[in-house]
Amino acid sequence: MTENLTPETLRKDAALTRMWLAGWVEPYASAWEADRRRLEALVAAVNNQVEDEGLWFIAETAPEAYLQNALRLLHALVEGDDFMAALAAGEEKS
């Protein structure tokens, strides 16, 4: 078996391995890139909502309070703020 370990066979094996890996990784890399673009768009939309004063008024009715709480939960989840997400979801977090 060691007689096949020449520099030429090792180069061929390395080239085949690179081709195989590229074929295996490419679909995942494309999916990850698409997910990254969707996440960037989501964060941009959430950041735009933060700037919209019409969304962050003082709630006077139950439906307005429900909307405010849902927006706070969405923003906390997107921003990765577990404490604020727990508060918005009505959970106690210590």
**pLDDT digit of tens for each residue in the chain (94 aa)?**
556 777 888 888 888 888 777 777 777 888 888 999 998 998 898 888 888 887 778 889 999 888 888 888 888 888 888 887 787 777 655 4
Which residue in this structure is represented by tokens 């919209």? 52
Compute how many other C-beta atoms are within 10 angstroms of the C-beta atom of residue 24: 9
Sketch the domain layout of the chain as residue ranges: 1-39, 52-94
pTM, two decimals, is 0.52
Which residue blocks in the chain are alpha helix, DSSP H? 7-51, 62-79, 82-88
Alpha-carbon Rg for the chain, nearest whole angstrom, is 25
